[in-house]
Amino acid sequence: MSLNLERNSKWMEGSGPQADIVISSRIRLARNLKGMPFPNLMNEAQEVKVIRQVGQAIRAPGVFQAVGELRLQTLRELSPVERQILVEKHLISPDLAEGKGEKAVVLRDDEAISIMVNEEDHLRLQCLLPALMLHEAWRLADAADDALENELDFAFDQERGYLTACPTNVGTGLRASTMLHLPALVLTKQAGQVLTALTKVGVAVRGLYGEGTEAQGNIFQVSNQITLGRSEEEIINNLSAVTVRLADQEREARELLRKQNRWQLEDRVGRAYGILTNARILSSQEALQLLSDVRLGVEMKILRGLDQRLINQLMVRIQPAYLQFTAGKEMTPFERDVRRAAMVRELLAG
Amino acid sequence: MLCERCQERPASVHVTRIINGDKTELYLCQECAREMQPQLNFSIPKFLAGLLDYEPGLEVKAPPAGERCRECGLSYEQFHQTGRLGCPDCYHYLAARLDPLIRRIQGSSQHRGKVPRRAGGNLRVRREIERLRAQLQQLVEQEEFEKAAQVRDRIRDLENRLGEQGGGQ
């Protein structure tokens, strides 16, 4: 398969419900094959077998009819930089990219569907869409899951549901998450309070790259904690409601900022834009923070003539692996900082 | 500021720990922070193991010797250490210890979600009947009797189908 790593993923489109605050929506389904140990206990022959079975299943006519063409790529055939780009685009986990053994990823052309093969579970089917489209992502994941289930025997138990390597995923195997940009809640120092409150309603909050990471660029990921005892619709409805509520809270905080600190706000946005369009050296952390300010400016219509899509693309393009890939060579951190600044200047200048 | 542990090197890492609600803050140098890493790192397996140890309803603390999955051979101890099960059958063979843990972390032990077409057996039909009954109830409350009658007929069809399957087996 020719992996076109430079293309934009569907989630970067930047349009859809609540797109001013919600960047993307993801559904993940954990599935395992019957009669096969989970990946942590598999030997190489078994790993290859799982990849082969998944490879055959995705070529079945029923799968094509349900979700279109899916293509499988073994990770062994990818360079470390190429693997890292898949992480930066949120298509695979760092664990899959770094893991030893035989692993693979299945992708649809628009990257709205990806399946990690031999991560913690045999299959981790993911659907990633822009803005708040959890229900749409669920419909797509459900259709892909149904079609795959025709070809593969999934481990399922009437009481416990889908059986997974970790009991925190058993049942639906569903992890639904949304990525939100919450700069005003951070600026008005409400973020900690609001996000702590969320954990009381069965929602977990994490940084941009999942478990154990910090919220870079004021981007937070919220997801359901419980996977057993509730239906998929209930889980998704709950997370959607929480996401809408969070977005409302963020909008209120933005209006407060506009009323009480209008000049400081516009100054901050303007300075961020100024630095991004003029800097000669930019670290990825600084770039993400400034992009967060510019994004806020775009969303609050302080900055005109820029769109979210460009900012979503920039968020991926400033990442180390993506930069090196488009440069066609490995670079030192300093070389990357120089190239990052040049690329951001060029793209923002249009 | 000097590292609070070695009192030699400058502190460059700020660590906040919350244990049983008690918050402690530490200012450490890189090296001490690295040495203390295992204690500081949050790990899901350890977290799960911790939950197990505090399970109040669980009277038998020590698992019976030789409690293993008969399919993959994983012992309960191994799961306790890694937080990962070995195969789908572990859920069956280690159920005595696993089910209380699942109830604890999930707040429930009964799957209410999607049922796969092939592996799900009758459960899929039973679920559909449950869903339709709830719908029927709602339609009756809203006095939409025509629609309710349709739903009622659909329930009957499905119940007949279950009955036939049961008889044929």
What is the ipTM for the molecules in this complex? 0.87
Residue B166 — pLDDT band, cuts 50, 70, 90? low
Minimal-distance CA residue of chain B relative to A234: B113
pLDDT over threshold 50, residue A62: yes
Task: Pick the closest to residue A115 from A92, A143, A138 (CA basis).
Answer: A92
CA-to-CA dists, residue A136 to A220, A222, A227, A237, B114, angstroms: 21, 17, 19, 12, 16
Q: What residue segments make up the domains of chain B, in order of their start?
A: 1-42, 51-106, 121-164
Residues of B in contact with A165 (CB under 8 A): 84-85
CA A310, CA A293: separation in Å to the nearest integer?
A: 14
Residue B5 tokens, joined: 């542990």
CB pairs under 8 A between A and B: 119
pLDDT in tens, A194-210: 888 888 888 988 765 55
Q: What's the confidence (pLDDT) of residue A118?
A: 97
Residue A47 — pLDDT band, cuts 50, 70, 90? very high
Mean pLDDT taken over chain A = 93
Radius of gyration of chain A (CA): 21
pLDDT over threshold 50, residue A245: yes
Q: Do A159 and B85 touch (CB under 8 A)?
A: no
Lowest pLDDT segment from A124-128, B55-59, B73-77: B55-59
pLDDT over threshold 90, residue B119: no
pLDDT over threshold 80, residue B50: no
Residue A237 tokens, joined: 């409805």
Contact A340, A314 (CB under 8 A): no
Q: What's the confidence (pLDDT) of residue B108?
A: 87
CA A97, CA A179: separation in Å to the nearest integer?
A: 21
Q: Do B111 and A158 touch (CB under 8 A)?
A: yes
Query: How far away is chain A from the Cα of B50, in angstroms, using its nearest Cα?
Result: 14
Minimal-distance CA residue of chain B relative to A163: B88
Report all structural domains of chain A as residue ranges with CATH numbers, in order of start. 10-252 (3.30.590.10), 262-349 (no CATH)
CA B99, CA A24: separation in Å to the nearest integer?
A: 35
Q: What is the mean pLDDT of residues A57-85?
A: 95
pLDDT over threshold 90, residue B65: no
Query: How far away is chain B from the Cα of A236, in angstroms, using its nearest Cα?
Result: 12
Q: How many CA atoms lie within 13 A of B89 on its CB side?
A: 13
Q: Does the annotation place A164 within a ligand binding site?
A: no
- The terminus-to-terminus CA distance of chain B in angstroms comes to 77
Please, what's the largest Cα pairwise distance for chain A? Answer: 64
Contact B91, A171 (CB under 8 A): no
Strands A161-162 and A156-157: antiparallel
Q: What's the confidence (pLDDT) of residue A217?
A: 87
Q: Give me the DSSP letters along B25-73.
A: EEEE-HHHHHHTHHHH---HHHHHHHHHHT-TT----SPPTT-B-TTT-
Q: Which of B106, B123, B125, B135 to mutate to test the interface with A (most CBs of A within 10 A)?
A: B106
Residues of A in contact with B117 (CB under 8 A): 146, 149-150
pTM, entire model? 0.82
pLDDT in tens, A184-242: 999 998 888 888 888 888 898 876 555 445 568 899 999 999 999 999 999 999 999 99
pLDDT over threshold 50, residue B167: no
pLDDT over threshold 80, residue B164: no
Q: Does the annotation place A208 within a ligand binding site?
A: yes
